[in-house]
Structure 1
Amino acid sequence: MDLTRSFLEKIEEMTGPKVIEVGGLAYSEESLYAVQQPTPTMIKAQSLTALIDYLNANTDKLFPEKLLIHVVNETTVQIISSLNPDFKNRENYIQADALLPVITLNRFMDRENFNIMLQSRFVPNEDRGRVLSSIAKMRFENSVKLEDDGVTQTATSAVGVTLVKEEQIPNPVVLAPFRTFTEINQPESPFILRVNDNCEVGLFEADGGAWRHEAMTRIKTYLETQLGEDYTIIA
């Protein structure tokens, strides 16, 4: 009986992972993988209101002190758990990704589409009105003037963009495109307004992306106001 037990133990020892010590460090001949706990399927949302409703309903019986609200960037917010004890991982309960319109920046576009974009995808303010007024007075000039005195002919061509009324194009302009969640006030930022020889118009960002940090701060403040002090919110 003892012989059989010793034989089985020897087989188990031979078939199990072998640990070798080299230079004071233990090495295994086989790779070991930790067994992870099951995690819930993440809910996908498109507004901050959805996150707030989820927390207020508390259908999943979550404890605020064990949650972390992470403002990942100006368009994404997650509600995640504290670290799991077994694998030091986190559960992602719900993620909101802002549903935003397409805004063309940092390249030229035709004046008609630029006008539509400015009116439909930017918050009304004083500079938006100035830009709309300026581009409305632009015209593309492509003409040839011919002078003939019977001996010689002189042709003068004019190609380019002119203003119907003498007026300077404003620069820089401070505008607020819809670039983050609609529940918060859209952050304003400076843009350079340029017009090329084809009468195409472009807005070029001029703040180095500082508006993104402002948007994240506003998201954090909005969530703190709506949820109170029970939750930890980082941005």
Structure 2
Amino acid sequence: MDYLISLAQQPAAWVALVTLIAMEVVLGIDNLVFISILTNKLPAHQQKRARMLGIGMALFLRLALLGTVAFIVQLTQPVFEIFGKGLSWRDMILIAGGLFLVWKATKEIHHHVDPPQEGDMFEGKKAVVPSFAAAIAQILVLDLVFSIDSIITAVGMTEHVPIMFIAVIFAVVVMLVAANPLSAFIERNPTVVMLALSFLVMIGMTLIAEGFGAHVPKGYVYAAMAFSGLVELLNLFARRASSKKKPPVAGA
């Protein structure tokens, strides 16, 4: 208790907490976009439950990993070398998660660009809706990848575990609040779905690059995402304004 009181009296600790909360919230956006897109493919009565369960698992994984910080830090130690590049368990997890994200996002993009047509012999295969268990399993895989990356980043920013716990819990609460509105917004705007899937491809490629030791500044990635999102938002406003200006159809 004395440790927590003394920590609360340190201005540097508050600065670290605010910075870490902001970072965790931003990192959580990637996870939330994936969860929203995946759960929107489920039957309507399962979507909200899948989102809450997926985000709950993200919180559980992050808190569980924080309890094993010493072990998590060891994941950054090289295990073996490929072409002179040492790969750690963290690197391999990031590469595997990045590949999965690129594959999943590319598959979803293909489904939106070339939807199944009536009489298509592959219609049944292409139009398969994932089961609830399959959706949760895919969310769990990405939760694990994002959680490990998030915790290792947090360890690099502060040595105080209570600060990490508070930042993680706050970020997940933000995800819980934003989950349903974000999913509804994505569902109502098909062009936003394509933009979000493109973001997931970029994030997947970033994870792969990070796994192979090519550091990609997060600021550049999120600046590009913010700019693209702003352009798409302006397009949405323009389309709505245009639809309001259309004259009524004669005889309607």
Same-fold status (TM-score > 0.5) = no
Q: Which has the larger radius of gyration?
A: 1
- Between Structure 1 and Structure 2, which shows a larger proportion of helix residues? 2
TM-score when normalising by structure 2? 0.23
Considering Cα pairs closer than 8 Å and 6+ residues apart, tell me whether 1 or 2 has the greater RCO.
2
